């Protein structure tokens, strides 16, 4: 019986810790439009998952996940929080390549700056180059795959 009580207390404690982690949901706009979700897994690290379309002339779909570290938090303003972040990740989806839609898999690097207001709103700007394999060949289209800056707006909860 003691073991059951200890297990219940441990599970309830873990659920409180998991629900206390900050999260944010919103969108990213640049050369693409993506739905965006951030989940902080410990100070100062967070996971970011994005899903959306890119290259509006020949649209493709991609799902991208990155693991980011906050490496600087300058005190530029008296209110709100500034953060510089960077991290690696992976991306997969479809790309218009060789006159057809093809499966794409790539490695991602992301560098950005975000500002979290005193109320639950977060703005960020980042650059996220992606290099990978599409149709059995190296694929690294700089403009549509991340060398174009993006702006994100997220609601924090």
Tens of pLDDT, residues 26-82: 999 987 889 999 999 987 899 999 999 876 666 778 899 999 999 999 999 989 999
pLDDT at 144: 42
Domains and CATH numbers, the chain: 23-156 (2.40.160.20)
Q: How confident is the model at residue 17 (pLDDT cuts 50, 70, 90)?
A: very low
Q: Which two tokens stand for residue 108?
A: 């991602």
Question: Which residues, 6 or more positions from 34, have their beta carbon under 8 angstroms from its beta carbon?
Answer: 27, 28, 50, 51, 52, 53, 54, 62, 64
pLDDT tier at 86, thresholds 50, 70, 90: very high
Distance CA 28, CA 82 (A): 18
Instruction: Report the alpha-carbon distance of residue 128 to residue 88 in Å, rounded.
Output: 9
**CA 117, CA 74: separation in Å to the nearest integer?**
14
- β-strand partners of 3: none
């Amino acid at each position: 019986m003691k073991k059951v009580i200890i297990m219940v207390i441990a599970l309830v404690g873990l659920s409180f810790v998991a629900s206390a982690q900050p999260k944010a949901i919103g969108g990213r706009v640049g050369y693409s439009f993506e739905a965006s979700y951030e989940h902080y897994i410990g100070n100062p690290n967070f996971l970011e998952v994005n899903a959306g379309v890119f290259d509006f002339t020949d649209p493709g779909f991609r799902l991208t996940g990155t693991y980011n570290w906050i490496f600087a938090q300058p005190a530029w303003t008296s209110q709100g929080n500034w953060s510089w972040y960077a991290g690696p990740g992976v991306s997969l989806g479809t790309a218009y390549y060789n006159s057809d839609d093809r499966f794409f898999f790539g490695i991602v690097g992301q560098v950005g700056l975000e500002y979290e207001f005193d109320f639950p709103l977060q703005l960020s700007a980042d650059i996220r180059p992606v290099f990978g394999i599409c149709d059995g060949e190296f694929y690294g289209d700089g403009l549509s795959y991340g060398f174009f800056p993006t702006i994100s707006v997220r609601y924090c909860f």
